[in-house]
Each structure stands twice: as C-alpha cells, then as structure tokens.
Structure 1
C-alpha cells in the first residue's frame, strides 16, 4: 500500500475544506508563512470585519499591518529566488476565506499592479520599480475599466493619450478602481490618438487634472473602497509610460495572468462560506437536535464541499501550468468562469442552511453571500469568459 502524503492532523491548515489535500503541495516554509497570515487574520481581522463591512469602510489599521507581514516575497521563501506560484495562490486563498475585500485589497497591489509592471515595463523600468512594488514603497492600482466600457474595453476604450514632446497628455475617466485613494501611482490604460493603439502610463495620483470620487451605495465588497477617476489634461513623462505596452495584446497578457488570482479568490470565498456554514449548523438547535444532524442540511454541506474541492483542484492545476510557463486565455477564463459559478451556488447554500440568520453579519455567511456577486463580475463576466473558452473550443469567435 502506498504511504499517504497527508500531513499529521495538527499541522493541516485547510483540513476541513481541502479533502484531497492540495495543501500537501506546499513546503513547510510556505505553510509557516501562511500560518503566520492565518494567526493575523484570526486575531486582528475577524473581530472587526462585520463592523466595518456594515459601515462600508476599510479597517484603517489592517492595511499597514498586512503589509508589515512581508507576504509578497517573504524573506524565508526567497533565499534561492522568487516565492513559488503555489504559495502566492494559497496566500490569496487564505485571505479570501477570511474576507473577499481583504483579498481584493491585497491583490490590487500583489496581483493587478505587479502584473501590469511585470508584463508591461521594460527591463530598466522593472529594475527600478519592482523592488518598490514588492515592499509596498511604490503603491499602485490597475485602471482599465471605464464608465461606459467594461466587457467591450478591448475595442471601446475611450481614454486618450496624446504625445506632446517628451510628455503625454491623458484625458478620460476610469471606474471601479479599488484602492485608488491609497495609491502613489495609477496604471492608466489609454488609446494613443495617433496610432489608435492602447498604451499604459504610471500617473501620479496627485498630478494636476487627476480627480477621485468614491463609489457609494455598494451591496458587495463594502469594505473595499472603489473610485471613479477623472483625467483632465493630465501630463505624464515618456519615462512613466510602460514601454512594453504597444497594443491591447499586452493588456490581454496581463488579464490572462490576473484571472487566475480571481479564480483563487472565488475558491477561497467558497471555503470561507463552507466553514462558516459548518460552524453554524453544528451550534444551532432546531426540533431539539443540532441542525448538522438533519439529512437535508448534510446534503447541502456535501454539495458545498464538492464545489470547493472541484474548484481547488482546478486552480491548483492552473497554477501548476502557469508555473511551467503555460499561459493561455482559455485556461484562466475557464477557471474564472467555473469557480465563480460554483461560488455562487456555494454561498447561496451557506446562507440557506443558516436560515433567517444567514442574512445577518453575525452568522458570518452573509458577507460571503453578498461579496460573491462582485467577484462573479470583475476580471471578466461569466459571459465574456465563456466566449473566450467557446472560441477555443470551436475556433470561431462569437463576440459582437
């Protein structure tokens, strides 16, 4: 009989939601860093999440404390080079199983902005900027979506860039930019009025002509602060243009890399919702018995676990492919589409087994249920990702 690779029970981080032990792919050092993150989230984040979610504010002390944990490229993991992709993926998973806003907040820097520079910058620019991105001394956000252009951004991007000597002049508006108020620079994508191609620029958030307006009235990701950004005659030097971005192809390369992060967030949300539901039904009595003892409740828990397990298996394999240098649009789109579809069912079942209490923040499933709707739509809607996969299947594009 083959000896099991499963870790001893006391050492497992994800035993309750990781039945096939994907965690075994992590090294002891990686697990140690994730355990350090787990302790921080349990001690510092969980006690304040409900309060700040209801207030629609991000806890002011959590951001700096999260940065101080040295999670981007932890020193203990980078003796022989950058941290492995599977570590970065489980870091996102750990954040999301606690709260979707926390995961979105951190990946705005560690995923979106870092990818924009790693894909779009020249070697000289990377040498200057990447160390500062990793230690958060240069903070940035990814500014692609516009008020009138989301799914059709490839052809519809309306923000313009006009060359004027050694500078560029930007005009336009961006929307849904998370964390913009805390950024040093905005990675703005604009269409060159001369050649019609998309280019990207690192814009000083405080530059003349830049305005930020917080988006209010949200019913999901309430802690995450999203903004409309106005650009009115904003001047940017040629040195601040991402020199490897000469068309939308570079943006597409960024998106295919970043969608894997969103698939991991969707999987983490499922794990968090499942664990919250499991805790609730174990402690709730009805008809003189724990809810966990009812057949229909157990069936729903089993479906939730099935969704978590299948999603985790998919994103682990996607991460392994990307670690081997295989980046395909259809792979990241399939994972984003499928994991988010499973996420929607999982959080609905979690809310369902908690009954009326499921819509309260106290039961700890309500946040996951509401926040899942935002994750379902960002980084490519279900429909757009399904068409990317469909094009791969049939060889025929069905975009309008």
Structure 2
C-alpha cells in the first residue's frame, strides 16, 4: 500500500520515517478511513463504544509497536507518534482507547512488571484478546497523585487487599484488567496491581453526561476488600517514580494525539471551505477564511516540529520529564486554538456532528486536561528551568 504524506504535514516530517514504517502507517490510515471514520459520529452522539475496533486495531499492530515482546518490526518513537496522530486525526476517542491499552496499561506492565508478567500479559493485549485500563486518578486526587493517593493496599500473606476508589478510568467498564495504583499500608510507597474486572469487590460504573470523548467508556471504580495475589503485583513498581516512568512515555503520545486532533479539525474546515459557496464563490477564496486556515496550519506545523523532536530524544535516551511536559502543554494549547479557528470557518455548521469539526472541537477539551493539565505540566517545566519547585 502506497504511503501518501498528509498535506497538513507542511514541512514533510514524515520523510523521517523508514519505508517499512510508512507502509504500516498507510495500512493503518486505510483501515481508519474505511472502517472507523464512517461510524464514529454515530457512536459519539450515542456515547457508545465500537467494540469491533479493538480487534481491528490489533490487526494493524497498534498495540504492539513499542514493546520488545510484541514488536512486529524495528520502529522509531517518531513512527509511534505518527500512529497516535493518524488515530486522533480520525477520532480522538479511538486514539485514547489505544493510548490507554498500549501506553498506560501495557506500558505499566512493560515498565514495572517482571519478565514473567510481561510474557504473560503483553502478547494477549497486543492481540486485543485482553483489554486493559489504568487506575491512577481518584475522585479527590488528580494532579496531586504523587502525594494524595488514597487507595490503600494491605499485605495479607500471599495476597494484597485493595480499598479505595478511582475516577475517569478509560476502558474500565468493559476491559478485562485494570492496573490499579495504590499506597502500601506497610511502607507508604505506591505500588501497581493487575486486577481482573471479575475480581470480587471491584466495581466499574460508567460516567454519564460527558461532552468530550463521548466514545471513551470512562468509569468510576470502587475497590472494596479486593484481593489480589502477590503474583499480580507489578514486581518492579516500588514507588511513584515507577508510575512516573509510564507517564513520561504516554504524555508525549498525548501531545502527538493533540496534533492529530488539530489536523482532523483543520482538514474538515478546509474541505468545507472549498465546497461552501457564499457571495458567489467558495469561501476558501475569502481572505478572512484563509487567515483562519493559515493560523491552523501554523499551529499544527509548530506543534509537529516539537513532538518529532521529543520523540527523537526518546529514541536517543535523552528525553526528560520536562521535555514531554512542555510538548503536552504547548501542543494542547495550540490544539484548543486550532479547533476554534476551524469551527469558526464553518459558521453555524461548525456545531453539527455531520461536518466533524464539532467532535474534534469538543474532544480537544479532554485532551487538554488529561495526562496532566497545562498548569501542572507548566510547573514541571518551570522546576527544570529555575531549580525551584512551585507545586504548592
């Protein structure tokens, strides 16, 4: 399948990819355009999840690329970023499904699990046979998860007993396992646990009334004396520093998804501008409409340059927390601006799902907030710049 560079990749960053990476990206794009894009607006409006996409995406290897146990071919972090971009360009909820499965859940097991745990779980998850979620955020602990985690894990012989609650946990209503992060009652350190959904005392309830990422099935989780065997404790998760290693990887991919969501809105606006006739000519030929489109392109191009460099640093082993934090803060802020310009190009039609921009516009709000708010990421960067922490 021939890879065609996106017109919105104005400076040609995709030229950095290998031929094998471009081939995989072309196959993924074809699947997304033919199988996913036609159904997302209906599912978004109904707040339902297209379960058939789990296996369809697995066939495209999207859960496999990053991990040694499942990697189909050698690939770069830049390529994996372009995968996140392509997903979000079509739908940010589908990109979130993959980000939770591949980045957060599989990432937790890969980064903090034992060799035995990685061999047991990663191939099943890569194949889409097991769907995972990531249980860190709590009703009263989001930005302060490092210090404010209230879920407690108590050792009882060869088992751990978990008590607490989690909120905003994507995939948890239908997923097979959730990685739960809890503070040990013994040493006060954060540890991770693989918890099957069928475990007694584990309850996941769908959060209703969302106006962003409506396809994502976010859940409130209640843990009441949930017993987990020692074999399901992530053996290399010994403090929040290990949790942060996972977030460092996924935060950069959220930045890529923000660029993809921006591109999706921009492309829909450009398509509309070329077709919509007012005052006797397509509105694409109006100066003020072109100004909106050029502003979108400038934001996309600047953001793409940033995420490409962050991913190159990840491959080189030089990426630090502040690098991914700056990328996430900057690209999501520019995304918010870009989807607003795209919506304005469509006038009243900009709030109608049929034209796609409304969905990208609404979904931008969730991308802006999750994986660290702009303010929290700014403080991470500010600490690196000044040497002074200003979190409290």
For residues 288 and 332 of structure 2, the distance between their equivalents in structure 1, rounded to whole angstroms, comes to 24
For residues 374 and 391 of structure 1, the distance between their equivalents in structure 2, rounded to whole angstroms, comes to 25
* Cα gap change, 1:79 to 1:216, in 2 (>3 Å): closer
For the aligned residue pairs, the C-alpha RMSD in angstroms reads 1.7
- Matched with 1:5 is none
For residues 62 and 81 of structure 1, the distance between their equivalents in structure 2, rounded to whole angstroms, comes to 22
For residues 17 and 374 of structure 1, the distance between their equivalents in structure 2, rounded to whole angstroms, comes to 23
For residues 175 and 127 of structure 1, the distance between their equivalents in structure 2, rounded to whole angstroms, comes to 29
Alignment check: 8 A CA contact 2:191 2:239 kept:
yes
Can you list the C-alpha shifts for 1:274-333, whole angstroms capped at 9, x where unaligned?
111100100001111111001111111111001110111110110010011123110000
* Cα gap change, 1:363 to 1:275, in 2 (>3 Å): same
Q: Given the alignment, which residue of 129, 135, 141 partners 1:143?
A: 135
For residues 62 and 11 of structure 1, the distance between their equivalents in structure 2, rounded to whole angstroms, comes to 23
Alignment check: 8 A CA contact 2:54 2:128 kept:
no
| TM-score calculated relative to the size of structure 2 | 0.96
Please, which moves more after superposition, 124-133 or 345-354?
A: 124-133
Q: Given the alignment, which residue of 376, 379, 391 partners 1:387?
A: 379
1:32 aligns with 2:10: no
Three-state SS of the structure 2 residue aligned to 1:208 is coil
The gaps in structure 1 that reach 5 residues or longer are 1-9
- Matched with 1:243 is 235
* Aligned pairs (5 A) from 1:1-400: 13-73=4-64, 82-400=74-392
Three-state SS of the structure 1 residue aligned to 2:193 is strand
For residues 81 and 182 of structure 1, the distance between their equivalents in structure 2, rounded to whole angstroms, comes to 30
CA shift for structure 1 position 11: 5.5
Alignment check: 8 A CA contact 2:61 2:72 kept:
no
For residues 61 and 129 of structure 1, the distance between their equivalents in structure 2, rounded to whole angstroms, comes to 21
| TM-score calculated relative to the size of structure 1 | 0.94
* Cα gap change, 1:170 to 1:80, in 2 (>3 Å): closer
Three-state SS of the structure 2 residue aligned to 1:222 is coil
Please, which moves more after superposition, 132-141 or 378-387?
A: 132-141
For residues 73 and 216 of structure 2, the distance between their equivalents in structure 1, rounded to whole angstroms, comes to 32
Alignment check: 8 A CA contact 1:285 1:291 kept:
yes
Alignment check: 8 A CA contact 2:3 2:25 kept:
no
The gaps in structure 2 that reach 5 residues or longer are none
State how many pairs are aligned: 389
Three-state SS of the structure 2 residue aligned to 1:243 is coil
Can you list the C-alpha shifts for 1:139-197, whole angstroms capped at 9, x where unaligned?
31111000111011111000000000010000000110111123221100001112111
